[in-house]
Amino acid sequence: MSSFFGLAKTRTFKPRKDVPEGTKQYQLRKYAEATLGSGNLRLAVVLPEGEDLNEWLAVHAVDFFNHLNMLYGTVTEFCTPQECPVMSAGPRYEYLWEDGVTYKRPTKLSAPDYVDALMNWVQGLLDDETVFPHKIGVPFPKNFRETIKTIFRRLFRVYGHLYSSHFEQICALGIEAHLNTSYRHFFLFINEFDLVEQRELVPLDELNDAILAEDAKGTR
């Protein structure tokens, strides 16, 4: 695993800091790490009994952001404006960027510019205590679920781009198992909590079907 993390390039965004020890999110992260360690990804995504759903969603948003940040960092030398002039997940799925601030209308960006904008946007939300509160007793905002859905929908696009445009390079680097495990965990999580609409997931339909089929076998 160390060789994989050693390949990650430094991006303009940084991994989200760990939540403070003693908080509910810290405890949930430790629980999630323990269930992940069991090798059962299906079990790892299920909300622990008696726990708050928003806390569980928040912990996983941070973890998927950090992991995807590192995965994408391994291909930055290949994902350039020249090689990837549009952000896409295959020839039929192109994405435009809009954040309501710098880009007030859907805007065509190269894949690296799109991913940079996306990751900086997510990081800004994760760092905002009014959106992702860490202090005990501070409630999540009423629109938190919608914010989470938008984050996961956009993170999916980075997975889509990695698979459609950079899978050969990822295989050459010997880290396809890391990508596959990360995406399987991500997909089972969004499927468990209905976070991304089916039409958004179409670019990776075949892979998604294979994951669900394998999951169904494992739960018999």
Q: How many CB atoms lie within 10 A of CB 66?
A: 16
Q: State the angle between helix axes of 53-73 and 144-173 in degrees (0 to 180), rounded to the nearest 10.
A: 30
Q: Which residues are annotated as a binding site for Zn(2+)?
A: 79, 84, 161, 166
DSSP string, 148-188: HHHHHHHHHHHHHHHHHHHHHHHHHHT-HHHHHHHHHHHHH
Structural tokens at position 138: 């501070």
Hunting for tokens 């192109």 — which residue is that? 94
Q: Which residues are annotated as a binding site?
A: 79, 84, 161, 166
Q: State the angle between helix axes of 111-126 and 144-173 in degrees (0 to 180), rounded to the nearest 10.
A: 140
Distance CA 17, CA 62 (A): 9
- What's the count of helices (H) and strands (E) in the chain, helices before strands? 8, 0
